Chain A
Amino acid sequence: MTLQKLTRKDLLCFTLPWLTPLVATGLALLLASVMPAANLALIYLAAVLVTAISTRVWPALVCALLSFAAYNFFLTEPRYSLRMLHREDALTAALLAMVALITGQMAGRLSEQVAALRASERWNEQQMACARALSVCVDRTTLIKAFAVQLEETLDWYARSVEPDATTLSASPRTVSWHEDPGGVNVLFHGSRGEAANTIRLSATEPTSAWHRERLDVLVNLASLAWGRIELGESLKQETLDKEREQLRSALLSSVSHDLRTPLSTMIGSVSSLIDLSDSLDASQRAELLDNTLTEARRLDRYIQKLLDMTRLGHGELSLDRDWIGLDDLISVVIRRSRPLLKDIELKIDIPPDLPLLHVHPALIEQALFNVLENAIRFSPANGHIRLQALQDDNWLHLDVSDSGPGIAPDKRAQVFDMFHTFSHGDQYAAGTGLGLAICRSIVAAHGGRTSVEDSAPGDGARVRISLPLATPTTMQEDDL
């Protein structure tokens, strides 16, 4: 753009000084028969004016010289010679030179002012564009990328993001600064401790001048504001996250220490009794102690499984490995796993035939259902019953597990699925870990499903429902049947 303007102006500087006298001479020769020579000098004056306005002082002077020479040569006596007979001719020459000088200078100054005005207008626009571009950036990377683009556009230099130099001295934290060296300029983004967190390298295509420095100062200032805003926002976010994580960690720690210790206490107690008091125990007592140990070890195993599940879910590493699976297949595995826990509790299963296949991650949905069932077993009295029902409702499959325990009051139902939420029912029912249903909710939610506590039938306790969306499998081909 600037280059084009320059060449056009240059073109005028090179052509107008000789073109305008030429045109003026032609015109003057045409009018020479009807006008006195002195008036014809006005045509040359016009030529010099045009040149002076359109170009600069020097081309105007050249134009004045050429104009005078042409006027003298073609139009004044003696014609076709440069000799001057009249004093007026000298005056004409002086007049032309003066017009060239004064107008040329005025025009030059004007065009410089216009150019300066245009440049400053453009610079203002660039600043606004830069501020706009930086204000929409919400993280560090996009900010640095956007700023590099702005620098390239403004300075016409090549910008690229480079690895920050570790030895860079610390500056004020969360600001942006720039440093000049012979090859160009480094723009440094400082982190919360003032260290250079990111750097943009600008390779100069011309020596760094005051013009560049002024622009760098202003743009870097804008970037500094945006950078500070993002840095502060992120550290605030990090603080909230840290706080939440800390709360979860302490809840987890108290849960772990309680839930790992309880079965371990039983196991250590039982086994040490067997070793130390072996002689004074009868066979049935020994068997009971061994049975206790096994039960508690299994409980520990289930608890560890939950912790593992929770870590997987909590870290977002869970990737669904979906497969088509029949509900009866799923339920059969869950029943096999929960059989040792059931003891005297009766499990009633009510699955309508011809249910569609589910498209889920089988192991995860199994775990979700197992957790609900385990919960139901915990709250069911000995000789109680648990009902496992499946029903299809349009594109949803509901799995209901109802126990015969004390039930859950309607106002407490929402909290059931919260992490580390456990109900206290005195010593009658073993307290849960507060993980099982939370894990169940996460798994089901990952499948696009819902978990809820529903109103239970009279005589039943709590009814926990897992709802899963149904998908249609691709149809089988004729020859595959």
Chain B
Amino acid sequence: MTHVLIIDDEPQIRRFLTICLGSQGYQLLEAEDARQGLQQAALHQPDLVIMDLGLPDMDGQLLLQQMREFYKGPVIVLSVRNGEKDKVLALDNGANDYVEKPFGANELLARIRSVLRTFGDVAVPPTGYDDGYLRVDLLDRRVSLAGEDLHLSKKEFELLRSLIAHPGRIVTQQQLLKEIWGPHHTHDTHYLRIFIGRLRSKLGDDPTAPRHIETESGVGYRFIGQAD
């Protein structure tokens, strides 16, 4: 049984989430403010936390920081559209993903499944990826496309590895820049754009209908390939 804690001050949203998630067999816990949320999280150690950033008694970012001191499970943040800065800050503060309000049930359920899946086997980082078309062996540093070997530059490979390491989850552009180019390059987003472009073209991924790398505008990238 998967326990999900919902922290939101809107009773209608909590009700809707209870019905929607309950129908999928999740066990729900509810909190209407940050204080209750922290208590519930500490008391029940839920498998997933879904929280709103706008809470009556505490800034959502602060709640995230405080919760992260004792809670290690996945957190999904509910945010408003165009609030890229909030999203990035939430991800930096330990959120694992975000869903834009207003959201549809399917979208939220997909995100929940995705974070739960990657958190389930977080202990063992993936050693590779294979969907029958794209094959990546992270140990041998080999990439092949439809059976043919693909040559990637060092940085291109590192970029692909960083994304594959968090399948289905968003990786912020700052995180990628820091990991691959170092802490002095966190503002050189054009580096990242150029390399994402090259990587996509080598993987034959059409950015307007991506199969592997999806853009989360202003925030980062998400590896959406479905391994067999």
Contacts and interface: CB of A to CB of B under 8 A. Distances in A.
Contact of B215 (A332, A473, A480): A332
Nearest to B187: A323
A321 B83 CA distance: 12
**Highest count of chain A CB atoms <10 Å: which of B189, B196, B209:** B189
Given A301-B102, A323-B218, A363-B217, A329 B207 contact: yes
A325 B217 CA distance: 9
B197 A363 contact: no
B194 A357 contact: yes
A80 interface: no
B82 A480 contact: no
A366 to B, nearest CB: 6
Contacts of A230: none
A329 B189 CA distance: 13
B193 interface: yes
A81 B214 CA distance: 123
Interface in A308-362: 308, 321, 323-326, 328-333, 335, 349, 351, 353, 357, 362
B204 interface: no
B103 to A, nearest CB: 10
A301 B185 CA distance: 37
Interface string B180-218: 010001001111011011001100000111100011011
A328 B193 CA distance: 10
Interface string B124-163: 0000000000000000000000000000010100000000
Task: Give the interface size class of chain B.
Answer: 20 to 34
Contacts, number: 71
Interface of A is mostly: helix
A474 B187 CA distance: 12
A323 B220 CA distance: 12
B193 A357 contact: yes
Nearest to A309: B82
Contact of B193 (A297, A305, A326, A353): A326
Contacts of A329: 193, 196, 207, 215, 217
A332 B214 contact: yes
Interface string B73-104: 00000000110110000000000000000101
A309 to B, nearest CB: 8
A332 B210 contact: yes
A326 B218 contact: no
A476 B124 CA distance: 35
A328 B191 contact: no
Given A326-B196, A326-B207, A332-B214, A353 B82 contact: no
Given A305-B81, A351-B208, 19 more contacts: A321-B84, A324-B189, A324-B193, A326-B196, A326-B207, A329-B196, A329-B215, A332-B215, A357-B190, A357-B193, A357-B194, A363-B84, A363-B218, A367-B82, A476-B191, A480-B185, A480-B188, A480-B191, A481-B155
Interface of A: 294, 297, 301, 305, 308, 321, 323-326, 328-333, 335, 349, 351, 353, 357, 362-363, 366-367, 473-474, 476, 480-481
